[in-house]
Amino acid sequence: MPQSSYYLRAAKYGIDALLKQRPMDEGFLFFTVGILASLRAVQHALLNHDSTLSPEHKRAIEAWKKSTPFDGPEITFIKNSRDLILKGGAFQAYATYSYGGIGEGDNFQMTHDDYETAYYVDDERRSLVEDMRAAADWCEKELSALEAQVPEINLPR
């Protein structure tokens, strides 16, 4: 599934870069929108592009679509988050940065340095990064299962 896998790699790259760069404000929003859009593009690429690669791809992807519950936690997260951003105009997520240590002035020693991302679902606070990773893992599992059923096709980039 070359095109859908490409979007999945982009989402995973974004998650890793988010955690490495630890952005706040607009930078955090940029990463969040990009990651969630990439995760949603995985399904769209699968259904609209990868399904056209061969008759085997079409059959496997159509069977996958019929047998896959689209109300599971990962796909629900992907769809709802994307809809809140693109259709609702607001995805209530945030990043926080905290640190602590002992001592003062020249004797200060950092003991912890934390970056956390969160969002809310029905007043329940959830880890945004954990849910993005779970969604990416779900996509990877689904794509791997499909790839085992079809001939390999490498597309030029």
Q: Exposed/middle/buried for 23, CB within 10 Å: 0-12, 13-18, 19+?
A: middle
Q: How many CB atoms lie within 10 A of CB 60?
A: 20
Mean pLDDT, residues 31-41 = 95
Amino acid at 8: L
pLDDT band at 100 (very low <50, low <70, confident <90, very high): confident
pLDDT band at 117 (very low <50, low <70, confident <90, very high): very high
Mean pLDDT, residues 111-129 = 91
The structure tokens listed for 16 are: 């890793």
Question: CA angle at residue 94 from 90 to 96, to 5 degrees?
Answer: 170
Query: What is this structure's pTM?
Result: 0.88
Does residue 57 surpass a pLDDT of 70? yes
Give the whole-angstrom CA distance, residue 41 versus residue 39. 5
